[in-house]
Structure 1
Amino acid sequence: MSDISQLPPEIVDKCRSASMPFFSIGYYGCTLEGRVLFMDATAFGLFELHKSLRGPDEAVGKILDELTGESSHGDLRAQLKQHQIVRGYEWPRRLESGEERWLYEDARVVTPRGEMTAYATEPYIECVVRDISVRKHKEAVYFADQHKYQTILEAIHEGYYEMDLMGNLTFFNRTLANILGVSEEKLIGRNPAEFFHNDAIAEEMRRLYRALRDGETSDGLLNWELQRPDGTTAVLEISVSLMYDKEGKRCGFRGLVRDVTERANAEEALRMAETRYKNLFEEANDIVYTHDFQGKFTSLNKEGERLSGYSREEAAKISVYEIIAPEYREKALEMTRRRLQGEQVGKYEIEILHKNGSRIPVEVSARLIIHDGKPVGVQGIARDITERRRAEEQRQALERQVQHAQKLEGLGVLAGGIAHDFNNLLVGILGNASLATRRLPKDSPVHTYLKRVEKAAQRAAELTNQMLAYSGRGTFVVRPLHLDKMAREIVELAQVGVSKKITFHFDFEENIPPVMGDVSQMHQVMMNVITNAAEAIGEDVGSITVGAKRATLDAGALSKVYFHADPTPGEYICLSISDTGCGMDAEQKSKIFDPFYSTKFAGRGLGLAALLGIVRGHKGAVNVYSEPGKGTIFKLYFPVLKQEDVEKQLPEVDTRQEEKSLNKWKTSGLALIADDEEAVRVFTREVLQRHGMTVVTADDGKEALELYEKHKPEIRVALIDLMMPFVNGQEVLEHIRNDNPELPIIISSGYSEAEILDRFRENPPNHFIQKPYRALELTRVLKTVMEGPAPVAT
């Protein structure tokens, strides 16, 4: 083998150049003003410039900040002008996908020398760049975990500590300081032995530490009677175990400190007075008992009699193991055997059998009875944990509900985003179809085809509204509704399409107050639930009951509701729809609000998923009760309408007369249209031109601002899309408003008006128009703002 220890420099340079792409290290240079001088393929890829350029050569001569759309390099160049060399400069590159790519750069200012003077005469910047996104992600996860564990430690009721091998505290939680009665500042770095006022206990602690340190034992437990600085005393239970470093070497101790003063005082009190023990025994809220090693009861308190159903005389004739549920008997025997072997046995849970056969879960804490130095029996306390288990089951159910709600919220965001983009496309279809219809003679046969196009596009728009409803972002035109009357009308419609074997019943409370709701959305909710109820019954004989009544929901009741959008306690109308169908198990019930899910066949649409979004949008709540073979009950809660919330009804408009008037309406001047969809720009430009306006269009917010600055003296109105690249519609509006508050501005979006205007609470547009829209709707809005009404109220 040849010696490679003295490779020529040019060979080393070639090896380095060949290796940099392998290690994803990019290399580029630019002027002090940021203009690219050279760039390799790796840097080109890391900056993700392939979206706008064909290769690194095209980047030469361009400003890097403009290529990346980021201003971070301005900061880097400023540092280089001051320090000449900058290492470890980190900055996030926002990708088109919405993700962040973190880049790490080392840079220096280079003064051309030798051969380089033929290519550059002025100092320039030389940089290497690499992707550190994975490292950044790991750091974020690490810091999140650190915060989580710190939060847990600060929340527990026990004191937690860590110390070095010399016994000096290196870490502890706030609870430990509270238990010891010493400030955290005084504890850090100190040995707890300094707080002992009992030499024997201090020596026992040191002995235990030595045993742990020398490997004689792996953990330990001791009690410490402490006198706090304020004069109070406490009995503490301290657990100690060894800590190991990454190399497996002993590096210190850790453990928990519990304040067991009350328990110690109770034990002392029991030893001091048999009478007091007897009173405590009899009046205890837990079962207190003793038995011999054959299992025969030797004592049982009143609570034991009450919970077991056996009197003391009856209990004396049976074995303790006879009232323990069969599957737990071996566990109880094993605990006694372990105590006899000298083990420290903690609390454990079993179930006991009442005399009537019912089961009661209990938590057992027991110890051996010692007489003349020998174990002669067992003394124990059994606590009824029925309520604890019920509370735990409720907590787990609530966690499942929260997780399900989070899943639905994520799907809702997806549905809303799809609906928004789909609405953009529908503007071009629906709008151009309406324009074509207006231009054709009334007797043209093409009218029929265009009407079909409009009808199909309108049905697609209705689908997007369902998707927006599922996401909780639907359009709501609310007015007072009487749910009982509305339900009767919908049942009449539904009866036509269901099996004749199904009978409908009504259960309405008299004179129930109205709710505020959207007619079409409420119609969809009721029809979806009734349709699902009918499908659950199928061809069997069955019934569907629809009812409505008042309901008062307090915070406790709301906590049990499956799905709700942060409703407030108060008066509600409960709309209930129950069926005698096949019912659902827990797994099926957890999926019924998923899009396209069905228990009968392949899902046909958003269905109940849209229901959930509609109810959320109406500030209501939903609960579902179902068991296999017992049918299903849907309960929908909507807030009762207060009298002061009743809105004035808008006067009816003669739509035909209005359409003729709008078609003839003319205006003049320059209009600015900004939308990133070409179909939308083409359609809106033609509409405005038909009414006498000249138009300039921009396909993003940045271009919109440039056109505004160029033509602002002539611009009379601006139609701005909310979601655009580079600069969004809200930023465009704020810029124009700051310059010309009087210019009418219309904001358009595929999202609903309520959601959009909430973003413009401080600076509302003159009007909002939701996509998709027809030429007539656009003309109506344009005429409204051109004739000068006040900005939209929020």
Structure 2
Amino acid sequence: MAKAMVSSCRFSFRRIIENIREVIWVASADFARLEYVSRAYEQVWGESRERLVANPMAWMEKVHPMDLDAVRQFCEKAKAGVTDTESFPEFRIFRESGEIRWIHARMFSIQRSGKIGDLKAFIAQDVTRSRCYEAALRESEEKWRSLTENAADQVLITDLDGHINYANRPFMGLSEDQLVGRHLLGMIPPAFDDSVRACFKRVVLEEESQTCRIEQAGPGADRFHFELCMSPVLVKRQIVAVAFRFIDITRRVRRERKLRESEAFHRTLFDQSPTGISIQDFSAIEAPIKRLIDSGVSDLRNYLMDHPDIVTDLARRVRIVRVNQAAADLYGAQSVHHMRGPLGIFLEKGDYRYFVEQVAAFSSGVDHYEGEARNRDFEGNTLHLFIRKVVINRLEKGLSKVMVSLIDVTPIKAAEKERSTLLLQLQQAQKMEAIGTLAGGVAHDFNNILSIILGNAELCRADPGSDQAVRQHIDKICTASLRARKVVQQLLGFSRKNEHVFKALHLLPLVNEALIFMRATLPASIAIDSNLSAADDVIRADATQIHQVLINLLTNAGHAMQDDSGSITVAAENVSLKQPLAESILSVPAGDFIRVDIIDTGSGIPESEQGKVFDPYYTTKAPDKGTGMGLSVVHGIIQRCGGGIDLTSRPGQGSRFSLYFPLADETADEAIPDKGIPSSGCERILFVDDEPMIVEICEQILTRLGYQVNTCADPQEALSMISAAQGRIDLLVTDMSMPGMNGEELIMRARHIQPALPVILCTGDNTRIRDRSWSDQGVTEILGKPLGMKALAEAVRRALDRRETGPVNGAG
């Protein structure tokens, strides 16, 4: 039975050996006889076992020449019994196909019959595949090390407890060797410990990568910023380690901080700037403009100016994207959001030239525009703006982002307009001053001529031999001369800032006088009608100014007639207003008035211009027809009278100007009837004037009145006559304006000779001397030319009666 069991064991053992991959053979100690070789020999060496049995050392024929010496030495050593169990050095063998196999073999002795080393057992294993795996693993490891050691980032590998197994470079002042074995989480700054631990835990438990940020203090106030990326290291889908990658993001964080600071700075600058700033989007006009250019439009600016409908469409396409508070305040918007929308709603209606210039500039490739513009605010008021527009990043964004700065120059424009108005007023004042100077000279000469005419006429009228028909003609000459004197006075009053005297007066006589005056100046083809039915015409005003108002309005009515044909109607009536006329040109309060209507059948005034006709320097007339000051003067005079003005006009149907004068509660001064020539006298009078004809006329008048008259035309001669008279001159009558020596100097030198000598000063322009005090120079009368007989006789008599004590009387 024991034998059977041994046989069975041997069979089982042999079957096992025959089916394993390793090559097993058993040989004598001297390798001369082969006891056994397993089937695997044929699979590994690629030749039959029989050949090896025939030649136990045949396996060495397949050994690679480079490994053959080492294998022989090992075998010789084994034969000599130097070693009992030892592994062969790994060696290579060639197969018939040329394939190379790596063999790992070891040898040990088998004791038999009590003797050691009787047999040698060899076990050879084909390790070609594992050698390839090891080579690939070494190559992979070398590549991995090369990548990690040369990576820009810090790489650490820890076990699942956080202990460092690998570091690609020194970290936090520790070398690679010093890092190995340390706990990584203990090296994290305490402020970030919780967040890092939480990420590490999720990596281990959920096997998913995590990222967090940490900071570390640097030298001084600097801080270093890292992005910590954690990834699981998996082997056969099992996590065996955790890879940490520290990315230095300090520069990025600093750039991001600077970017945020810059963005906050520019946002604050945009939002808080006192200058209006907006962002506009012009991108929607690029395609339409390109189509126009492609269609052959070469001069885009002129083309758009000729096609306002296209410009309107383009303006609607441009969008206001963003504005600051200053821009919203400038336009009167409730908030910055109300400003967003089409640019076209803010452009001045019908005035698109500024917008066209911007479109033409941007379409030609220019990235900036600077100039003026006119916009409308939310209340419809016109804004005068200085704008600067800059295209931002045209290459990437096209015209979608245009920054606009807005400077309100409306006050400057208003100041410039006011300055222009003041300059015009100054020029007009200078012109009026020049006219005044000219008028003074003309008045002097004209009054001298009138004095001659009036004096001769009055002498003729006083002649008892004149018949009735002649006297009637002489009366007309006298009336015309006196009216001419008033015209001269009005000319002086219009050209100079005269002191106007407001007193109660009758208005209708002034209206009649103005109509008579205008009848002589207007063409005969213009009919003048009047209907003066007012029962109460007493107003408080200055007669000269009222005359000026009427003359201005009647002159304008005449100018309104086309082809010098038509009619002017002047009506006056009493009206009582229960309610004010607030909508009139110059509002009329409630009360009792005399209304004067001046109605013409001229060209009329458009409604759009009716509110402007009373503005200074506003005129629609040709330069030779007027300056635009007439109606402004009318407005000021009526306003000072406490009255009002109403205007009704239609183009082609004429105009009606209604003047409302408040009635006065006092009585007007009535004209004093002529009581004839004053009492004569016999005193001695010296009359001096450089105009010989005036001297002759006045000598005749004074002589007829009984006075002893001495005359001369030379002031120097007059002084000689006063000196020779030795105080027997009772009165000096002298003209003011004379060549060589004026009246003032003559008076001073004459009174030096005869201190108590009374003086009458005559002048053709009393506006030049009336504001002065002449009493200290002995002047008791100032007599205006032309010198009428009655005025001269009364002035002489008063001066002689008062002699030295009387005040100056501005007669004439």
Q: Quick check: which has more Rg, 1 or 2?
A: 2
**TM-score, with structure 1 as normaliser:** 0.47
